Amino acid sequence: MSASPPVHAKYEVVIGLEVHVHLATDSKLFSPAPVRYGDAPNHDVHPICLALPGVLPVLNARAVEFAVRAGMATHCTVHPRSVFARKNYFYPDLPKGYQISQYEEPICTAGWLEIEADGGARRIGITRIHMEEDAGKSIHDDAVTHGEGTHVDLNRAGVPLLEIVSEPDLRSPAEAAAYLRTLRCVLRYIEVSEADMEKGQFRCDANVSLRLHGEAALGTRNEIKNLNSFRFVEQAIETEIVRQARILDEGGTVQQATRLFEPATGRTKVMRTKENADDYRYFPDPDLVPLVIDPAEIERIRIALPELPDRKRVRFEAEYGLPAYDARLLTADRALADFFEDAARANGTPKSVANWILRDVMQHLKERDTDVSSTRLAPEALAALVRLVDEGKVTAKSARELVPELIEKGGDPAALVRERGLEAVSDGGALEAAAAEVLAANPGAAGRFRAGEDKILNFLMGQVMKKTGGKASPAAVRDILARRLRE
């Protein structure tokens, strides 16, 4: 494949992403308050989340395990010792006046993720992964506040987060999106986060700068905060590239700034500039001893790590003889990959099973906006349906009609085929009779075929299929008609 042209003719685009991920723990990072979504405001709180006087944070061991897993799955060095720091800033939804985060000594550093880009596979560096707590939410929405000021909801205050910081290695909006998709896929595989963007469990800050092609030094960056959909990430970066290119083209200099993306207009606006950048006055949190993880514990977590998407993809190609494209799609989701394997084992012809999953099953899942594990379709049932088709007992067309029902209600394909009378008409006599009738009823069409109009055969086939209620094998019908027309 030839390399695609640069995203911008004159400038090289440089992007680094900071991703915030909610960890799927039952309770918060330093308090026993539950982590839940959609509860009434301020119902999932505890004195620790509220920063009442005298409270002390207690670290959630599960969150540490999740951070270690994420580090391993992204090829990071996992440090047996890391330190929690206070990041001080004043904001109404931050009751303590500081956020507990990791700063100089994060839990994971120096990893990478491989993404599939236009020109092939590319390795994107991961600078660091650190643990921190989320802040609460300020609600400015008039439907809630009735125009009276701002309300504060602290349900989210203290929810455990990973911040995953990439190297400035990404070169286009599409690569940024590919990186985010790959990262989300890996995090879901290792079951540390649902990473649902709509629930705010996976959010991205995009740092963007431009430099002339071939230039070594990085340009001045702007950071676009809190992008919560893949589309917004790409859109915001596109907009930013155009904005910065215009400034540079006019001989100006880009001012370093933090910006907010406005989905309604597709534009960004300045939140703060470098001159008034926040000084967080970081210092180690005196309430928390350094986090020290026993190397045996780190090893235990490594051993329990599931097979990751990259390795699974390579194995699917080798073990089931699938094309790279199929293997990539099937391994994008762990539940789908498991479903495929179960169905392929039960059926014995993996490529057929892959085709049916990627074409028919996926189409219905997309329409229902669901994943395969939440449907009633059993892998054994799909295996049986595919076998019925491959053995010629039911036409692909009839089988396709059963897929939505199997997804919604489940059931045994062989029994459904019998109940509905969908058995393929394999009786040669019945097909011969239908073909003879059709040819007798359409002498004109038969004549045109004999005069060299090949396409008319499709019309005649359609007529025979109609007579058999769509249950005849198209290949058999074609053979019979062709033979009779030559006679």
**Contact between 115 and ligand ADP (CB under 6 A)?**
no
**Shortest separation between residue 273's beta carbon and ligand ADP, angstroms:** 13
Interatomic CA distance for residues 180 and 230, integer angstroms:
8
Interatomic CA distance for residues 163 and 101, integer angstroms:
9
Which span (25-33, 159-167, 313-321, 378-386) binds ligand ADP, by CB under 6 A?
159-167
One-letter identity of residue 212: L
- Touching ligand ADP, residues 189-218 (CB under 6 A): 207-209, 218
One-letter identity of residue 274: K
Q: Which of 69, 156, 203, 221 is close enough to bind ligand ADP by CB under 6 A? A: 221
Residue 225 vs 420, nearer CB to ligand ADP: 225
**Shortest separation between residue 98's beta carbon and ligand ADP, angstroms:** 16
Interatomic CA distance for residues 272 and 275, integer angstroms:
8
Distance of CA 157 to the CA centre of its chain: 26
Residue 18 vs 405, nearer CB to ligand ADP: 18
Interatomic CA distance for residues 482 and 474, integer angstroms:
12
**Contact between 163 and ligand ADP (CB under 6 A)?**
no
Q: Which of 101, 102, 155, 166 is close enough to bind ligand ADP by CB under 6 A? A: 166
**Shortest separation between residue 400's beta carbon and ligand ADP, angstroms:** 46
Interatomic CA distance for residues 422 and 418, integer angstroms:
6
**Contact between 268 and ligand ADP (CB under 6 A)?**
no
CA-wise closest residue to 361 among 324, 404, 398: 404
Interatomic CA distance for residues 320 and 330, integer angstroms:
12
In this structure, the strands spanning 98-102 and 84-88 are antiparallel
Residues whose CB falls within 8 Å of the CB of residue 413, separated by 6 or more in sequence, listed in order: 381, 384, 385, 388, 399, 402, 406
Give, for 22, the enclosing helix (H) or strand (E): strand 11-22
**Shortest separation between residue 143's beta carbon and ligand ADP, angstroms:** 33
Interatomic CA distance for residues 210 and 168, integer angstroms:
11
Q: How many CB atoms lie within 10 A of CB 462?
A: 14
Binding mask 7-46 for ligand ADP (x = CB under 6 A): -------xxxxx----------------------------
Q: Which residue is nearest to ligand ADP (CB)?
A: 16
Which span (98-106, 147-155, 165-173, 308-316) binds ligand ADP, by CB under 6 A?
165-173
Residue 45 vs 170, nearer CB to ligand ADP: 170
Residue 215 vs 287, nearer CB to ligand ADP: 215
Burial of 19 (0-12, 13-18, 19+ CB in 10 A): buried
**Shortest separation between residue 334's beta carbon and ligand ADP, angstroms:** 27
**Shortest separation between residue 258's beta carbon and ligand ADP, angstroms:** 8
Interatomic CA distance for residues 260 and 236, integer angstroms:
9
Q: Which of 48, 78, 165, 389 is close enough to bind ligand ADP by CB under 6 A? A: 165
Residue 98 vs 356, nearer CB to ligand ADP: 98
Q: Which of 116, 167, 338, 390 is close enough to bind ligand ADP by CB under 6 A? A: 167
**Shortest separation between residue 210's beta carbon and ligand ADP, angstroms:** 9
List beta partners, residue 111. 126
Residue 20 vs 467, nearer CB to ligand ADP: 20
Residue 17 vs 190, nearer CB to ligand ADP: 17
Interatomic CA distance for residues 475 and 390, integer angstroms:
13
Residues interacting with ligand ADP, by CB under 6 A? 14-18, 165-168, 207-209, 218-219, 221, 223
